Amino acid sequence: MLKHLSITLRLPFALSLDSFSVPEIATITGKTEDTVRRNIHGAKRILAPKITSKGGER
């Protein structure tokens, strides 16, 4: 599923799935907390239709 995301979105989203906090992800990636939040939100927006589509992953 993560293959559908660019690395810019994949890393923050994957870390969030592993229960890292936004401040921790910001430190790891060298991005601001706002950018991390936007990246996670963007990843969810991209993946949502793929998760909810009939028949699973496209």
DSSP state of 53: S
Q: Model's pTM, two decimal places?
A: 0.82
- Provide DSSP, 5-23: S-HHHHHHHHHHHTT--HH
Length of the chain in terms of residues written: 58
Tens of each residue's pLDDT in the chain, 58 residues? 888 899 999 999 999 999 999 999 999 999 999 999 999 999 999 999 888 766 655 5
What's the rounded Cα separation, in Å, for the pair 39 and 16? 11
Burial of 36 (0-12, 13-18, 19+ CB in 10 A): buried
